[in-house]
Amino acid sequence: YWILKLSSTGSILDQWGYGGVDDDFFEEIRVHTRKKAFWVAGTSHSNTGGNKVSGNFGNGDFWVFVIDHDGLKTIDNSYGSPQNDVCKDMEVSPEGAAIVAGFSSSGGGNKSTNTNGGEDYWIIKLDTNGTKFWDRNYGGVNNDSLQAIFIKCDRGLLVGGHSLSGISGDRTHFNRGVNDYWAFRLSIPTRPYFRASNICTGVPLNFYDESDVWPDTWAWDFDDPFSANNS
């Protein structure tokens, strides 16, 4: 991966290289809103070596890491199966978590699902520390290659790519001949989590939303029907 920091006029202010001893292909860089840093994602064919810390599961893997404004790499993780896995896109949700997407040819490694046949769309949700929260694959019996994702305003995902499959697996439409565009919408599993400050009589009680979702509003029910401020 070759990453450059440019001035507003295009002059190079700084630059960094990241990789192992084999081919590594940069794909996306996004702002990590929680850590004031950057998520970086692509496809790596390298094992541990060079300045790549995570290993390789076989052929290409998704390789995801975080860098600060000085190019210092912190989080460094590989996600993949024994066959070829190709990263094509990444989005970052408002709480700073990364959603990494591409296509995969097999199950195994640290991939929790197998393919429906050939290549399938593969989408991974990472928390703000780079730990895998969930991963899913979508496809029919032939090759299906994800190309792009987009976060919707309702927290779901739009997913698009091309597909050789007919009605099979997750595909519900006939194939119109060779490769077709295949697009769909996803709802996203969420994990609400709220932390409260220490509870002391006469001191305001503060609640902190540390969820991996970004709610529009909050509603509280303190389960005390006799209180004047129950909700």
- Per-residue tens of pLDDT for the chain, all 231 residues: 999 999 999 999 999 999 999 999 999 999 987 788 999 999 999 999 999 999 999 889 999 999 999 999 989 999 999 999 999 999 998 778 899 999 999 999 999 989 998 999 999 999 888 899 899 999 999 999 999 999 886 678 999 999 999 999 999 999 998 899 999 999 866 667 788 887 788 888 888 887 766 666 777 777 777 766 666
**What pLDDT does 220 receive?**
76
**What pLDDT does 154 receive?**
66
Q: How far apart are CA 27 and CA 75, in angstroms?
A: 17
**What pLDDT does 215 receive?**
65
**What pLDDT does 152 receive?**
81
Q: How far apart are CA 123 and CA 27, in angstroms?
A: 15
User: Cβ neighbours of residue 11 under 8 Å, at least 6 residues apart?
Assistant: none
SS3 1: coil
Q: Which two tokens stand for residue 39?
A: 């998520």
Residue 181: Cβ within 10 Å count: 10
Q: Which residues pair with 150 in a beta bridge?
A: 158
Distance of CA 190 to the CA centre of its chain: 14
Q: How far apart are CA 29 and CA 33, in angstroms?
A: 12
**What pLDDT does 212 receive?**
61
Task: Assess contact for 91 and 151: CB atoms under 8 A.
Answer: yes
Q: How far apart are CA 40 and CA 78, in angstroms?
A: 12
pTM, to two decimals = 0.80
